[in-house]
Structure 1
Amino acid sequence: MKYTITALALVGAVFAGACPKPSPSPTPSPTPEGPSYFGVISARSASPIHLRALTARGGKFYLGGPGPSSYCPVAQVGAACPPGNETVLAGGYKTLSLGVIVPGGQQVYVAPDGALSYTGAHSAYIPPGSIVDGFSREAPAAGAQFGVLNFDTGFVACPAAAADQGYQVFGQVDGATFGDGCLGFNALAVAGDKPGAWQY
């Protein structure tokens, strides 16, 4: 409960306000207004993943566990380094990227095993058979605070191999099997206005 309240407080502090529905290019996917930054929190009532921030860590995404793995070359960038303590996404209109400053950006994709993943900085490598264009975003409904990030076949979170890592996030792709402890969830989008890190 303490983590849930903290996560919501942090998300609210970083993002300006953005209703649930079940559920990449090297640079953020453009919209007429720009890259359209946002964060994601999960919604699955009465579950251990309810209201958890989506976190980019070690090339994958998680709900719960430690904060994001981020880096900024302070010696070269100095005060221009974003804080890197929250995971920010960009786009979500067919393709999806991380909200980063690093040249070339970092693309989000669903790996062949279903793992929601992202490319390393300075690398465009994506495993063959991955899905890069199954994402969509919905604006908040009238009077609603949150929009929704969708993946064509929905998102699911499974307990990570190490208990302290929280739940790993997957896309429900054909051929992937998920255990009894896995939970489908809605990805609520919280609008933002700036990148979250130099790189994740």
Structure 2
Amino acid sequence: MKSTVYYSLSILASLLASTTATPLPVDNPTDLKQCAGQWYNPSSYTCRIGADSKALCPVVNGEPMNECAGACYTPLRYSCNGTALVENPRKASGTYTLTASNPDQPWDNQPIQAAGNHFWVGGHAATYCPSNVGSICTSFPNDTTLIGNGFMATVVPGGQSIYWQTNGALAFTQAHSSAHWNLSYYGGGVAYEGGGYFGPNGEDLITCPVTPAGSNTTAWQLFARLAGLAFSSSCVGLYVVVRDQNITAGAWQYT
């Protein structure tokens, strides 16, 4: 079990969004507001009043960040003990679903689904159950992707593992195969208890419009902002929320 980690604000300064914004001229439009003498656009920032300071915290993925002793953070990843940020406990076991979160987007609160060996926002999971296994598959939700500790929550012999591809895409192996195509990182992302899901090293996640092979319809595919990658301006940032499930598997296998 990973121990709780306390970060100094100097280290967090390189990890978290800036808490200051460039003051805007006084003659800006009337929809601007003030925070500690700084003009700001409330669609991009929020004014947080701490115990001994006022801070402008950015709106990220449609959600205003919280403030802790002058540092801005998302509660999906950190907590504030009053004087410092604390990393939330990481999830090491159990099954859970993933849900997209960005209130500014039409797919907000949609499930992350598995299909075509990748992950998508909304839609339906692609699953398979052989006819010779009896009625076991009637107990699976099938329409919800469950992710364990680096593996899909399936019962197919050999299982299905999760990995990250070189283009930042979150992917899963085919049943009865250990092949990892265009592998960048083995295993899933960083999941927090009652919190969020991030890239293999804690990177932010985004979703991009992609037309899957054999389809004429655009779907939103899940990616991580891995180091050195650049993404199209059509991609949109999102938080991915972890929701615990009290079942052992989501499907016999995902396809």
Q: Which TM class, normalised by the smaller chain length?
A: 0.7 to 0.9
Distance 1:182 1:21, change over 3 A: farther
Structure 1 residue corresponding to 2:219, chosen from 166, 191, 200: 166
Confirm whether residue 89 of structure 1 aligns to residue 147 of structure 2: yes
CA contact (8 A) 2:164 2:187 kept: no
Confirm whether residue 69 of structure 1 aligns to residue 69 of structure 2: no
CA contact (8 A) 2:209 2:235 kept: yes
Q: What's the TM-score once normalised by structure 1's chain length?
A: 0.72
Q: Distance in 2 between matches of 1:134 and 1:87?
A: 13
Q: Distance in 2 between matches of 1:131 and 1:86?
A: 24
| Letter aligned with residue 208 of structure 2 | C
Structure with the higher fraction of residues in strand conformation: 2
Confirm whether residue 154 of structure 1 aligns to residue 204 of structure 2: yes
Q: Distance in 1 between matches of 2:216 and 2:241?
A: 24
Distance 1:163 1:46, change over 3 A: farther
SS of the counterpart of 1:88?
coil
| Letter aligned with residue 198 of structure 2 | N
SS of the counterpart of 1:90?
coil
Q: What's the TM-score once normalised by structure 2's chain length?
A: 0.58
**Counterpart in the other structure of 2:102:** 44
Percentage identity across paired residues of the two chains: 26
Q: Distance in 2 between matches of 1:186 and 1:127?
A: 26
Q: CA deviation at 1:176?
A: 2.5
CA contact (8 A) 1:20 1:43 kept: no
Structure 2 residue corresponding to 1:187, chosen from 213, 219, 240: 240
Q: CA offsets, 1:11-48, max 9 Å, x none?
A: xxxxxxxx5359xxxxxxx95xxx40000101112113
SS of the counterpart of 2:133?
helix
| Letter aligned with residue 68 of structure 1 | A
**Counterpart in the other structure of 1:110:** 164
Larger Rg: 2
CA contact (8 A) 1:60 1:116 kept: yes
Distance 1:102 1:176, change over 3 A: same
Q: CA deviation at 1:177?
A: 2.1
Q: Distance in 1 between matches of 2:187 and 2:156?
A: 22
Distance 1:167 1:123, change over 3 A: same
Distance 1:129 1:119, change over 3 A: closer
1 or 2 for the larger relative contact order (CA 8 Å, sep ≥6)? Answer: 1
Q: Distance in 1 between matches of 2:168 and 2:141?
A: 29
| Letter aligned with residue 77 of structure 1 | V
Structure 1 residue corresponding to 2:231, chosen from 172, 178, 184: 178
Structure 1 residue corresponding to 2:251, chosen from 186, 197, 200: 197
| Letter aligned with residue 80 of structure 1 | I
Q: How many pairs are equivalent?
A: 160
CA contact (8 A) 1:62 1:165 kept: no
Q: CA deviation at 1:83?
A: 3.9
| Letter aligned with residue 172 of structure 2 | Y
Q: Distance in 2 between matches of 1:54 and 1:89?
A: 10
- Structure 1 regions of 5+ residues with no counterpart? 1-18, 23-29, 141-146
Structure with the higher fraction of residues in helix conformation: 1
Q: Distance in 2 between matches of 1:56 and 1:165?
A: 15
Q: CA deviation at 1:165?
A: 4.4
Cα RMSD for the two superposed structures? 2.2
CA contact (8 A) 1:107 1:118 kept: yes
Q: Distance in 2 between matches of 1:159 and 1:87?
A: 20
